Amino acid sequence: MGTGNLEILHGDDGLSKNGNEGERNVEEVPADGRVWFEEQLEDDLKWSFTLERVLDRGTSDYQQIALLDTKRFGKVLLIDGKMQSAEKDEFIYHECLIHPPLLCHPNPKTLFIMGGGEGSAAREALKHVSIEEVVMCDIDKEVVDFCKKHLTENHEAFSSEKLKLVINDAKVELQNRKGKFDIIVGDLADPVEGGPCYQLYTKSFYEKIIKPKLNKNGIFVTQAGPAGIFSHKEVFSSIYNTIKQVFKYVIPYTAHVPSFADTWGWVMASDEPFSVDAKEIDRRIEKRIDGNLLYLNGAAFLSLATLNKVVLTSLVKETHVYTEEDARFIHGHGVAYRH
């Protein structure tokens, strides 16, 4: 990159406004020295922040990948032009994804992560002293290699003997595996039209693949998209209602993630009831976790599942069941759609 210039991705990658569709260009830094990243959240809504430079980028068979260096959020990982995680606040998302199911389980030993290519979910799971094996299955080797190269904070997780990295379609991998797991985690990219993951949010997948692969007392958890006042009907309410058709006990929960410019949602499910209080969660954190949690404690754990009236009412009234034929998507398109 030449002095005084910043190389920026174009168009669908969300990182430039000049040039023709599909091209990459170099844009002059404005007089005030700032260049802005934009993500189109909805047709009439954008999320924007300044960036220092594009650290790396690429296109795999499945997705477009980029790593940005930003002033506000540190290193930012983009998939198909959409924010996946940011160095400064990824701990919120990953602690909320991993620790609720592990802390609710009586004695978790085995865990299967669908997706999770950046390694942060595995990093959090490996803090639990009871864990004997974490299988991380990501379809996109280029994303995994990209994150191994750039996200140095997860090097220890990637080098752990307890981590088994598999490059495969998670559906195929689970179908072919003989064993079962205490915890199955959906750390998947958002369901976007043409993306590789939307089939892994369907009722048939939960019913025929996920549930049979859980041990007794097993817990399933998935990220479930935006869950704010205005955004929760995109996919969060549908994913919740779909999982509710398959499992007896289902808990939706949310937390604000600043770099996502929204509240985010997760759904946790089991055929065994969840019966832990704040004091017990604090006790389990002290006893089971080797390392620090930056976001979660017992009180915060319970507050995640205390939904505001607007979102809770929508979830109760939701009737849509997610299928491949009747899928819902958040704003944006995957590589297959653009092709």
**Tokens 């750039």 appear where?**
150
- 8 A C-beta contact, residue 331 and residue 41: yes
Phi, psi of 75 (to 5 degrees): -70, 135
d(C-alpha 227, C-alpha 136), whole Å: 26
Largest CA distance in the chain: 62
326 among known catalytic residues: no
User: Cβ-count burial of 1 within 10 angstroms (0-12 exposed, 13-18 middle, 19+ buried)?
Assistant: exposed
Q: Choose, from 89, 140, 187, 190, the residue flagged as catalytic.
A: 187
Strand-strand pairing, 35-42 and 262-270: unpaired
Q: Is 227 helix (H, G, I), strand (E, B) or coil?
A: coil
Q: Which of 105, 103, 104, 125 is nearest to 113 (CA)?
A: 125
Q: CA 170, CA 176: separation in Å to the nearest integer?
A: 10
Q: What are phi and psi of 279, to 5 degrees?
A: -65, -40
Tokens 């006790």 -> residue: 283
Locate 296 and state its tokens: 């979660």
**Would you name the residues annotated as active-site residues?**
187
